[in-house]
A and B are shown apart, each in its own frame.
Chain A
Amino acid sequence: MKIALTISLFLLAGNLFAQPERVAQLRGVPHVKGDIALLGQAFAATPKPRLSEQFSLSRENPNELQTVLSGLFLVYKSFFSSQDNQRCSFHPSCSEFGLEAVKKLGVVRGIICTCDRLTRCNGFSPRQYEIDLEKRVLKDPVGW
C-alpha cells in the first residue's frame, strides 16, 4: 500500500513539475532586446540590386550572339532606360521581352514577337490585359 502510494505521489509530482513557471521565460524576446537595434533596422538603407542580378536572364548566355544581346540589353537598361521619360506599360518590359523572346524562341520568332509587342506598347488599350497588381503594370509574358 505504501509503495503504491509513493508511486502515485511520484507520478503526480511528475505532472506538477511539468508546469512551467508563469513569467520565467518572458525575458529575452529577440525584437525588444534592443530598441536601438530595432530602430536601426527601421531606418536601414534600402539596398539597390545590380542590374545583372535583377535580370538573371542576362547572365545565362550559351553562345556569342546571346552574350552580345545581353550586353546590349544591360547597356540599354543602365544608360538609356534609366533616363527615359516614358515607362513601358508591360511586365516584362519591352527590352526584357525582346531579350527573353530571342533567347527562348530563337532569332526569327523572337524578332517577330518583339515587333508585335512594340506596336502594342502604346498605353491606349490597358483593358485588354491582366494587371500585375504588385508591379502596377500590365501582364504580357513571352509566348508564341
Chain B
Amino acid sequence: MRPPFFLFLFLANALSAQDIYDYTHSRAYARYLLQSQQYTLAAEEYERLIFLRPDNDTLRADLLRAYRKGDTPQRGLEQWAKWQLEPRPKTRLLYTEYSRLLLRGGYPDRARNLVSASAMFDSTQMKRTVLYANMLEQKWPEARQSIEAIPAAEKIPRRADLENLIKRGERSKKKNPWVATALSVPVPGLGKAYAGEWKDGIISLLFVGVNTWQAYRRFDKEGADTFWGWIHGGFALGFYTGNLYGSHKAARRQNQKKFNRLQHDTEALVFPVLD
C-alpha cells in the first residue's frame, strides 16, 4: 500500500463531490440572488437556508429583506408570525429589518409601536421610523412634528423632498360629496364643476338640457301621445339623476385621487430610503 494512492483516492473523492445544496454553497448562491435583485429566487433560497440553520438571525433578516424588496412583504410578515420570536432576546439587525418590513407591508402603526416600545433602537432610528409611519398614514400635522424633532445635523436621506411632501399634504383639501350633489340639484353639472371635473359638468348640462328641450318641443307640438317626446323625456330624467349620483361620485373620486397621489409619492419617497 503506497500512501500516494490513498492521497489520490482522498482528493478524487473530495473534488468530485461538491454539494451545491449545502449551507456554504446555498449561502453564496442566495447572496448572489439577493444582490442581483432576483428577490423571488433569493427568498426561496433563504427559506432553505433557514431550514438548515434555524436560529440564524442574519439569515432571517436577509429573508425578510428579500420579501420586502421583492414586493411580497406579506409573505415576510407571515414568516415572522410563524417564527414566534417574542420570548427570545431581540437582535437589532433582525428587528430593524422587521420594522422596515412593517412599514413596507402597510402596517406603519405597528412599526411605530415597535420602535417606541423597544429600547434597542437608537433615537435616530426611532425618529425616522415614526416620521415615515406618520407620512405613510398621511397624518400630516404629526409628520410635521416628527420631522421638526429631527435636528438638521442628523442627516436623513432626502430631507428636503420629505418636507415638501409634508407641506403638500398639509395643503390638500377635501371636497364634500354631499355639497357636490346639492349643487347639481338646481344646475345639472355644477356639482361636477365643484368637484373639479368641469368639462364633464358641461357635458352633463348639455345632455340634460338638449333632451329636456327636445322633450318639451315634442310635448308642446304633439301632446301626450308623442313617441320621441317620451324617449327624450326619459333620457333627460336618466341623465339628471345620473348626474346627481355622478357629482357625488366625482367628489369621492377626486378625494381618493388626491389621497392616492400623496400615498404614491410618499411610498416612492420612503420605500427606497428604508435601508
Contact residues of A with B, CB < 8 Å? 1, 8-9, 11-12, 15-16, 19, 111-116, 118-120, 122, 124-125, 128
**Set B17, B200, B238: member contacting A112, Cβ < 8 A:** B238
Question: CB-CB < 8 A to A19: which residues of B?
Answer: 16
Q: Is the CB–CB distance between B242 and A128 below 8 Å?
A: no
Question: CB-CB < 8 A to A120: which residues of B?
Answer: 197, 200, 203, 246
Question: CB-CB < 8 A to B13: which residues of A?
Answer: 11-12, 15
Known: A119-B200, A119-B203, A125-B199. A16 touches B16 (CB 8 A): yes
State A119–B207 Cα separation when bound (angstroms).
7
Instruction: Give the distance to chain B from A5, nearest Cβ to Cβ, in Å.
Output: 8
Query: 9 A–B contact pairs at CB < 8 A?
Result: A11-B13, A15-B16, A111-B242, A112-B245, A113-B245, A116-B246, A119-B207, A120-B197, A125-B197
Cβ of B27 < 8 Å from any Cβ of A?
A: no
- Of B200, B207, B243, chain A has the most CB atoms within 10 Å of the CB of B200
Question: CB-CB < 8 A to A122: which residues of B?
Answer: 199-200, 203
Contact residues of B with A, CB < 8 Å? 1, 9, 12-13, 16-17, 197, 199-200, 203-204, 207, 238-239, 241-243, 245-246, 249, 253, 257
Question: CB-CB < 8 A to B207: which residues of A?
Answer: 118-119
* Smallest Cβ-Cβ distance to B253: which chain A residue: A128
Instruction: Give the distance to chain B from A10, nearest Cβ to Cβ, in Å.
Output: 12
Closest CB pairs A-B (n = 8): A115-B242, A116-B246, A116-B242, A124-B199, A115-B238, A119-B204, A125-B199, A15-B16
* Smallest Cβ-Cβ distance to B5: which chain A residue: A5
State A11–B13 Cα separation when bound (angstroms).
9
